[in-house]
Structure 1
């Protein structure tokens, strides 16, 4: 039996990103009205980058019993970082001051990987009804997170190809155009062919294994799937979950046939990707990746910037979430 939220009406803060891809005024009103029947609700809309983190931090100080996020993965990431604060370098435990309220998510972005990986319905109306039911049953679970570069991430991070794709999509958003699965695919193809002939720059190190050199790009997962293309799940490390260590997926080739073969495996349910030039490791406590020259880093789908050395650390049982029981 999963842990239960405390008895009686809970003080809850609903953090809404009004600019998220799939949020609408009508949907936000429906969500707030429905939740008001279960919790003592306060609603706050984000107005700038980093605002969700500020709101979550203040909610923690104010003793809120629950934080509900209506937005995409970037908003969720901000809330988590606002609640947990800056992670301790190399620490495999969450260092917090005072009680941390659980979070619940109603998807409002373009991919919503975190919510969907927890078993939350992708449609905001369906997710609202699901959340009402979960709150009525006072159901939650505790999940592991990960951190790198002085920041927490929930489901994945990466150096190289995927970071460049996230950078391209971020620029697309800044130009006023919404992010869509098709936009991610187009960006992925453009970035791949633009960098196909570049020399590999990465070295990947995990405990108790020899370093792997000559890596073109590397993904580090805290959960599976790694992402979604509409309803299709993309699995780099199928055995990685919120209850295990990290999964590592590192490619030592950009040959077209090898890339296409691995891509097909990523999209095939039940398949564990494998190739001669693919290094894939599951359930590791930490990963260190170094680059011979600065390379892009992304976390939870947000482009962070160029880095030469990044250490990824798994932190078990770091956060309570309102979600269905473990699969």
Structure 2
């Protein structure tokens, strides 16, 4: 099958900076790439689904994790197919680009070196008559509150952005409602301050699950019960390096194929940095499951040095 590539991007992101970067990369590419700019929220998902149906075999999400999320969902809603998702990381966190090696692969010295494609795992969540996919990770509770606060900050990127958002969330979103969570057959009933369910290694630029794999068929999860503000600050260094101590009285880790959540109050959830639900929607019960080898993606392995 001959290769056809397209790139989906928001032309007004970063006051037009994203468009300039994308258009320059397309001009420099040794292979033709079709430009597909978005015009409204959700358009990236529509364009990705249409691109698959038009026979494109390489679909590039140029932007941050939100763009990746939309493009992946568009591709996943028209399965089965052989098209591969690729990423040009132009966002604030770029967590999925990190997981696929494309954060390094985007550097100018590597940009046009060969990539490989691989079938990787995808998460699927249902709740409140809604269904959605995620490719990097899901966050609930305080984690989603950090995402909410990060949307209000326009002058920072990466770990600095999410570190600042954490400080703001510590002021406005310090709650730990009771939840019953089933990690496969392991049941946890406790106050829940935050919950990470990852396919990739990072959440909000922090390497919270550094041993996670895109191809093992398992989620890597972190559950935090009732935690003090001082306790969170003490964990900040471990969050930055991906070395959260275990065992820990307030933080437990789990590896599983599915997670079922029953919360005592409506929850806020993000998927790849995009909101699945907000408290005002009234959703309290969620089911999250992994779909092994469900999406073909482009990956980059940096060349050995020396």
TM bin, normalised by shorter chain, reads 0.7 to 0.9
Q: Deviations along 1:242-263, whole A, 9 cap, x unmatched?
A: 1220011111122133222332
* 1:216 equivalent in alignment to 2:197: no
* CA RMSD across the alignment: 2.5
Alignment partner, residue 192 of structure 1:
170
Alignment partner, residue 48 of structure 1:
40
Figure out how many residues of one structure are paired with residues of the other and give that number.
292
CA gap 1:325/1:316 in 2 versus in 1, 3 angstroms: farther
Alignment partner, residue 91 of structure 2:
109
SS at match of 1:143: strand
* 1:57 equivalent in alignment to 2:49: yes
SS at match of 2:248: coil
1:255 to 204, 225, 228: 228
Alignment partner, residue 246 of structure 1:
219
Alignment partner, residue 139 of structure 2:
158
Deviation (angstroms), 1:79: 0.7
1:317 to 293, 296, 299: 293
SS at match of 2:110: helix
Which segments of 5 or more consecutive residues in structure 1 lack a partner in the other structure? Answer: 1-5, 86-95, 229-233
Alignment partner, residue 231 of structure 1:
none
Deviation (angstroms), 1:143: 1.1
2:21 to 27, 51, 55: 27
Deviation (angstroms), 1:169: 2.5
Query: Any residues of structure 2 matched to 1:216-295 within 5 Å, and which?
Result: 216-228=193-205, 234-244=206-216, 245-268=218-241, 272-282=245-255, 284-295=256-267
1:15 to 8, 25, 28: 8
Alignment partner, residue 141 of structure 1:
118
Task: Check the 8 A contact 2:235/2:244 in 1, yes or no.
Answer: no
Which segments of 5 or more consecutive residues in structure 2 lack a partner in the other structure? Answer: none
Inter-partner Cα distance in structure 2 for 1:24 and 1:76 = 14
Task: Check the 8 A contact 1:265/1:273 in 2, yes or no.
Answer: no
Alignment partner, residue 72 of structure 2:
80
CA gap 1:225/1:20 in 2 versus in 1, 3 angstroms: same
Deviation (angstroms), 1:97: 4.1
Inter-partner Cα distance in structure 1 for 2:61 and 2:149 = 25
Alignment partner, residue 269 of structure 2:
297
CA gap 1:216/1:294 in 2 versus in 1, 3 angstroms: same
CA gap 1:115/1:26 in 2 versus in 1, 3 angstroms: same
Deviation (angstroms), 1:100: 3.7
Alignment partner, residue 112 of structure 2:
132
Deviation (angstroms), 1:210: 2.7
Inter-partner Cα distance in structure 1 for 2:277 and 2:221 = 20
SS at match of 2:114: helix
1:69 to 57, 61, 65: 61
Deviation (angstroms), 1:158: 1.2
TM-score, length-scaled by structure 1: 0.81
